[in-house]
Amino acid sequence: MKHTLLIGLSVLCLMGCGTSQKENDGQLTPEQISVFTSSDKDLENVYMWAKKTALSYAHDGTDSVGYWYEAALPQREAFCMRDVSHQSVGAQILGLGQHNKNMFTRFAENISESKDWCTYWEINRYNKPAPADYLKDSEFWYNLNANFDVMQACLKMYEWTGDKDYLTDSCFTNFYDKSLNEYITRWKLEPENVMARPRYMNQPDNFDVNNNFHTCRGLASYVENFRGLTMGVDLLASLYAGYNAHARIAALCGNEEQAQQDMLRALQYRDIMENQWWSEDSSYYQTFWTEDRKFYRGEGVPFILWFGATENPDRIRASVKDILSREWNVENLSAFPVLLYRLGYYKEAYDYMVTLPQMDRSEYPEVSYGIVEGMVSGMMGVVPSASRNTIATCSRLPEGVNEAQIANVPVMDGYVTVKHTGRSATEIVNNTGKDLTWEVSFVGNCPQVEVDGKTYSTVQTQDNNGNTIATASVELPEGSTLTAKVISLN
């Protein structure tokens, strides 16, 4: 199993607070960061709209909360845990790494026992819990998925930036530890309790079933309107993701025993989902478990894929089919481009990406950030890994699109520029400040690629939609520009 591979990796133990990422944002102007151009002007226009819209939600450090961007309902002047976790990669691409770190720090520093090891679900520009979601520590709104969503996002931020604070700073490690221990116990989220936990927990003495700050203080799902729910498949998937993320963090810090324990716990949640929530007769996952001990169907399936909670290829394909057969709100739709590109559903990903700006509620901040991530990490395939010292690319351009380039994407301590010529050639410029390994991929049966006159053999795999992906590993020195070309493609 590939999870066991990360435990055995030889990694450096990253002790102490580590060194923060060198600030990228002051080196180039926002106009110069992550500039997208293409022979497909529709794609260009969509990206330009997304970038302009996303940056319009970003605020400098003059507010009490520090650097932040809007990640909640428009006009709230606030950011919530779920939305920041989902917007953070798009924000990093646009040069908002400082904003990401500040907002995740605000969430991490406010975890407390008086809130039953929750933090503030939503924080406003005044560095206060948003009044729409919080009255006092015993009365507030909170979705239990959020701690684990933040943990997964913080690991992604480390991979993009190389900032070791996400792994070792005491503010973050305290949040991780409390979330995977006291929080789990307080809310009865242990594997042996998740299917038997009560609907309402940790409520004040004056509990009022008509008070949302009582009944929604510890929702067992991101779905907020299903009566009687005690566990959502999205919460189960997020529990897997939280422990999986912490296993990777522990391994990166040299704590292999902790990494192994976390991975075993993550797999316990996966086993519950695969063995109890999958309907073999209907070929779909159930999404709600209620106080009357019955399964129901509703929202939630996209989060199984978002959290990577299943590796079963048949069930992933069935889940994509399930998703494509239904209508969704923009919060869900915003994640579809990057998810579908990575799973191999290129046409569907493209269609969602180019139509999102015209959809109802397209002003919701998550939409523009989701398009940016979908285009750069999905369609262009740009995915860095600080832990492995790699940068991956894969052209998933639509048929007929001759060229596309994303220039000056903030990665680690600098930038990369990636240009695809159809699906047959890719050029990369490494200005990250360090030597990297370039994992250059092409779609199709391609045994070899040529990189600046040198031939490299590829490793061929398949994505979940059956596309063959050919990947070569190429040394990419700092300051270099390399071009990879397909030698033969079947």
Spatial contact of 40 and 404, defined as CB atoms under 8 Å apart:
yes
In angstroms, what CA-CA distances link 178 with 3, 185, 222?
Answer: 23, 10, 21
Arithmetic mean of pLDDT, 399-417: 96
Is the pLDDT at 260 greater than 80? The verdict is yes
pLDDT in tens, 238-254: 999 999 999 999 999 99
Query: What are the structural domains, with CATH classification, of the chain?
Result: 42-382 (1.50.10.10), 390-486 (2.60.40)
Spatial contact of 207 and 139, defined as CB atoms under 8 Å apart:
no
pLDDT in tens, 153-189: 999 999 999 999 999 999 999 999 999 999 999 999 9
Spatial contact of 34 and 372, defined as CB atoms under 8 Å apart:
yes
Please report the pLDDT score of residue 27 as a whole number.
Answer: 74
Arithmetic mean of pLDDT, 432-436: 97
Please report the pLDDT score of residue 82 as a whole number.
Answer: 98
Please report the pLDDT score of residue 118 as a whole number.
Answer: 98
Report the C-alpha dihedral over residues 301, 304, 307, 313, rounded to 10 degrees. Answer: -130
Spatial contact of 399 and 405, defined as CB atoms under 8 Å apart:
no
pLDDT in tens, 445-460: 999 999 999 999 999 9
Q: How far apart are CA 82 and CA 91, in angstroms?
A: 14
Q: How far apart are CA 26 and CA 37, in angstroms?
A: 23
Arithmetic mean of pLDDT, 295-301: 96
Is the pLDDT at 18 greater than 70? The verdict is no
pLDDT band at 489 (very low <50, low <70, confident <90, very high): low
Please report the pLDDT score of residue 74 as a whole number.
Answer: 85
pLDDT in tens, 321-347: 999 999 999 999 999 999 999 999 999
Please report the pLDDT score of residue 10 as a whole number.
Answer: 34
**Paired tokens of 445:** 């049966």
pLDDT band at 13 (very low <50, low <70, confident <90, very high): very low
Please report the pLDDT score of residue 488 as a whole number.
Answer: 74
3-state secondary structure of 231: strand
The overall average pLDDT reported for the chain is 93
Arithmetic mean of pLDDT, 31-45: 96
Look up the pTM and report it.
0.94
Please report the pLDDT score of residue 428 as a whole number.
Answer: 98
Instruction: Compute φ and ψ for 444, nearest 5 degrees.
Output: 130, 170
Is the pLDDT at 378 greater than 90? The verdict is yes
Q: How far apart are CA 229 and CA 291, in angstroms?
A: 6
String of DSSP letters for 90-148: HHHHTT-HHHHHHHHHHHHHT-BGGGTTB--SEEETTSSB-TTTEEETTEE-EETTHHH
Arithmetic mean of pLDDT, 130-135: 96
